[in-house]
């Protein structure tokens, strides 16, 4: 689950990281009043679950309260398209209005899980800001990473090494080390999968301030953080993915037109490969899970069928805990409810196979059966 910048900044503040004064607004008049309260000028920042806002017009500076209200009116209610969104973008329902910062330099600071080291890793750069991707590409030596042994936590020698790599000294080095420790505490105590400050700035009067904040929470640990669950903003999420997560269905929306219903994540991955090998592209990853009922399969297939990209559906089920007759009944139920006539390619194996096939064959749906993955790929090719 992703948090908004302003939500993440509240958490930063609780852990003693400096953030600019500011307020969240959702209308132009409040934007004007808030800017007045901040001394007459401010930065307006679209609160969306996507980075790259600065380059996409999602971060604007207002020199007067009137300008703030005009900018707010032009930003609110629009969809912001950034390099991190799809072509339709994400809705801008609120803005964070903040006092302007006197930036001397912009640094980058983040923590994520390093799968190679199997531990959290802190990533730092003295060249933070909007071009961090180019820095990573053109000057990889300007980016340092520090794996953190979870049993020990972030050690003083590590913060000393990192502040040296950032070229910091004296009180600035001390204050930055404090931010690093706070960031690690936030990461661990809130079960984050990613936390990022870009830019972490040094002001002209030598203060360290988090000008931006990105925080992703690990969904599987959310049950331990009831207070954070209420921060979820569904308006920022893919509609079908949000519906699927409500039903406990593992679903990721993809670009292609072959809808895939599968049980088991490994088989689902293999099914994406089958679709690709057939020269087609999958519309989704979907793992309906082992203990699914008719109704849950029907929900899953309905989610697939309500995606306008989908032109045909591939059901690939290994009937173990999920029996073939359950998969068949659920699929037929969804096709009937959605009144769909899309071609259906079914490859089933295992428990109650004959019963499952029988249900599908008698359903009146446009079904092609495949016994092997090769046959399934062939059927996909023929359905184009």
Query: Minimum Å distance from CB 27 to ligand GDP?
Result: 21
Q: How far apart are CA 288 and CA 51, in angstroms?
A: 31
Which CB atom, from 55 or from 381, has the smaller least distance to ligand GDP?
55
Closest residue to Mn ion, judged by C-beta, is 212
Which CB atom, from 215 or from 317, has the smaller least distance to Mn ion?
215
Closest residue to ligand GDP, judged by C-beta, is 54
Tell me how crowded residue 61 is: count the other CB atoms within 10 A of its CB: 12
Tell me how crowded residue 227 is: count the other CB atoms within 10 A of its CB: 7
Q: Catalytic pick from 146, 196, 251, 335?
A: 196
Q: How far apart are CA 316 and CA 263, in angstroms?
A: 7
Can you tell me whether residue 343 is helix, strand or coil?
A: coil
Which CB atom, from 23 or from 378, has the smaller least distance to ligand GDP?
23
By CB under 6 A, name the one of 52, 57, 91, 350 that touches ligand GDP: 52
Query: Minimum Å distance from CB 151 to ligand GDP?
Result: 33
Partners of 197 in beta bridges: 109
| Residue 59 contacts ligand GDP per CB under 6 A | yes
Q: How far apart are CA 315 and CA 384, in angstroms?
A: 16
Could you give the angle at which helices 65-75 and 28-37 cross, rounded to 10 degrees?
150
Q: How far apart are CA 264 and CA 66, in angstroms?
A: 56
By CB under 6 A, name the one of 100, 222, 250, 252 that touches ligand GDP: 100
Q: Which does 3 bind (CB under 5 to 8 A by kind): ligand GDP, Mn ion, none?
A: none
Q: How far apart are CA 159 and CA 185, in angstroms?
A: 14
By CB under 5 A, name the one of 34, 163, 193, 198 that touches Mn ion: 198
Q: How far apart are CA 109 and CA 165, in angstroms?
A: 12
Q: Rounded to whole angstroms, what are the CA distances from 309 to 9, 91, 247, 257, 268?
A: 37, 21, 21, 5, 19
Contacts of 85 (CB under 8 A, 6+ apart): 48, 50
Which CB atom, from 106 or from 287, has the smaller least distance to ligand GDP?
106
| Residue 127 contacts Mn ion per CB under 5 A | no
Note whether 164 and 177 are within 8 A (CB).
no
203-218 burial, b at 16+ Cβ within 10 Å, e below that, comes to beeeebbbbbbbbbbe
Query: Biggest alpha carbon distance in the chain?
Result: 78
Site for ligand GDP in 265-304 (CB under 6 A): none
Binding marks (x or -) toward Mn ion, 209..228, rule CB under 5 A? ---x----------------
Q: Which contiguous run of DSSP H or E holds residue 197?
A: strand 192-203
Q: Is 196 a catalytic residue?
A: yes
Q: What is the CA radius of gyration of the chain?
A: 25
Site for ligand GDP in 181-200 (CB under 6 A): 198-199
| Residue 51 contacts ligand GDP per CB under 6 A | yes
Query: Minimum Å distance from CB 177 to ligand GDP?
Result: 22
| Residue 130 contacts ligand GDP per CB under 6 A | yes
Q: Catalytic pick from 5, 67, 108, 335?
A: 108
| Residue 113 contacts ligand GDP per CB under 6 A | no
The DSSP output letter for 46 is E
Number of residues forming the site for ligand GDP (CB under 6 A): 17
| Residue 211 contacts ligand GDP per CB under 6 A | yes
**Contact window for ligand GDP (CB under 6 A) among 51-59, 63-71, 219-227, 350-358:** 51-59
Query: Minimum Å distance from CB 125 to ligand GDP?
Result: 13
Query: Minimum Å distance from CB 45 to ligand GDP?
Result: 6
CA torsion, ordered 94, 42, 87, 286, to nearest 10 deg = -50
Q: How far apart are CA 287 and CA 302, in angstroms?
A: 14
Q: Which does 52 bind (CB under 5 to 8 A by kind): ligand GDP, Mn ion, none?
A: ligand GDP
Q: How far apart are CA 275 and CA 311, in angstroms?
A: 13
Which CB atom, from 59 or from 275, has the smaller least distance to ligand GDP?
59
Which CB atom, from 14 or from 84, has the smaller least distance to ligand GDP?
84
Binding site for ligand GDP (CB under 6 A): 43, 45, 51-54, 59, 100-101, 103, 106, 129-130, 198-199, 211-212
Catalytic site positions: 108, 196
């Amino acid at each position: 689950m992703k948090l908004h910048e302003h939500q993440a900044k509240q958490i930063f503040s609780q852990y003693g990281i400096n953030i600019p004064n500011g307020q969240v607004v959702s209308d132009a008049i409040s934007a004007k009043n808030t800017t007045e309260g901040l001394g007459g000028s401010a930065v307006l920042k679209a609160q969306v679950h996507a980075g790259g806002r600065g380059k996409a017009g999602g971060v604007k500076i207002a020199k007067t309260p009137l300008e703030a209200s005009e900018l707010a009116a032009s930003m609110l209610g629009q969809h912001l398209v950034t390099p991190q969104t799809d072509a339709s973008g994400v809705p801008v329902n609120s803005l964070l209005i903040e006092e302007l910062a006197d930036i001397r330099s912009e640094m980058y600071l983040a923590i994520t899980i390093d799968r190679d080291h199997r531990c959290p890793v802190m990533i730092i750069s003295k060249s933070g800001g909007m071009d961090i991707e180019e820095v990573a590409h053109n000057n990889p030596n300007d980016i340092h990473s520090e794996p953190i042994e979870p049993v020990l936590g972030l050690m003083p020698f590590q913060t000393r090494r990192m502040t040296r790599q950032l070229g910091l000294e004296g009180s600035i080095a001390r204050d930055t080390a404090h931010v690093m420790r706070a960031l690690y505490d936030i990461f661990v105590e809130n079960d984050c999968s990613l936390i990022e400050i870009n830019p972490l700035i040094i002001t002209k009067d030598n203060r360290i301030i988090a000008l931006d904040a990105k925080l992703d929470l690990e969904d599987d640990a959310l049950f331990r953080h009831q207070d954070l669950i209420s921060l979820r903003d569904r308006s920022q999420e893919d509609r079908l993915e949000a519906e699927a997560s409500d039903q406990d269905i593992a679903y990721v929306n993809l670009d292609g037109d072959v809808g895939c219903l599968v049980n088991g994540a490994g088989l689902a991955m293999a099914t994406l490969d089958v679709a690709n090998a057939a020269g087609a592209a999958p519309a989704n990853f979907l793992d309906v899970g082992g203990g699914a009922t008719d109704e849950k399969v029907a929900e899953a297939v309905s989610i697939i069928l309500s995606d306008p990209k989908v032109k045909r559906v591939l059901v690939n089920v290994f009937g173990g805990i999920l029996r073939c007759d359950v998969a068949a009944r659920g699929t037929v139920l969804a096709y009937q409810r959605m009144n769909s006539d899309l071609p259906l390619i079914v490859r089933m194996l295992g428990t109650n196979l004959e019963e499952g096939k029988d249900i599908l064959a008698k359903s009146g749906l446009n079904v092609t059966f495949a016994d092997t993955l090769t046959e399934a790929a062939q059927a996909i090719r023929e359905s184009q």
